[in-house]
Amino acid sequence: MWPTLITLILLIPILSLLGSFGTINNETIETWNHLIENQLGEATVNTVGLLIVVGIGTLTLGTSLSYLVATFQFPLRRTLRWALLLPLAFPPYVFSFIFLGFFSPTAKEGTFNQLASWTIHHPFFSLAVVMILCFYPYIYLLGLNAFESQGQQVVEVGRTLGYNRTQCFWKLSL
């Protein structure tokens, strides 16, 4: 009884949105024409560009960090293994505010001034950097699990075949 009632209450906004599609007037047509003529092309290009840049950046950063943590021994490795998951604790809008605080032109004199001017003139790449730093932990977790399940044996087999560490990564681990 209660789950059905809660479901119906939650469906009210969706049903009202679906019901509004039947009411098309001149104002709605003008609004859609304006959006299509002036903003849809640029928004589509920006969205596809962000998809490509953030996808490649997230894949590169997450995979490389997970490979380094899973296969190499270095000081503070165990701490870094968990510290690289910290971006999952913050929503992306919090990272955006932190990024703006560090790289805005009103930041303290001498702190990242050249980078601040670059971020103002290149908002697309600034957004891409923030999104990459927010979403790489998902790839990092998957990669860490995969590289640890392979174990060191893959690298050892590659070394016996005459591969260096880079070749072991590209030809065997991936």
First to last CA, the chain: 51
Rounded to 10 deg, the angle between the 92-103 and 123-150 helix axes is 130
Burial class (CB in 10 A: 0-12, 13-18, 19+), 144: buried
Mean pLDDT, all residues of the chain: 84
Amino acid at 169: F
Contacts of residue 86, Cβ cutoff 8 Å, sequence gap at least 6:
137
The C-alpha atoms of residue 150 and residue 70 are separated, in whole angstroms, by 10
Torsion over CA: 47, 49, 51, 53 (sign) = negative
pLDDT at 172 (0 to 100): 78
Task: Tell me how many degrees the CA angle 140-82-157 measures, rounded to the nearest 5.
Answer: 55
Question: For residue range 71-120, what is the model confidence (pLDDT) as tens digits?
Answer: 888 899 999 999 999 999 988 888 888 877 777 666 666 556 666 666 66
Q: pLDDT tens, 7-44? A: 999 999 888 877 777 677 788 788 888 888 999 899 99
Quote the CA–CA distance of 106 and 116 in Å, as a whole number. 9
Alpha carbon distance 110, 124 (integer Å): 24
- Gap between the Cα atoms of 53 and 45, Å rounded: 12
Q: Distance (Å, rounded) from C-alpha 14 to C-alpha 126? A: 34
* pTM exceeding 0.75: no
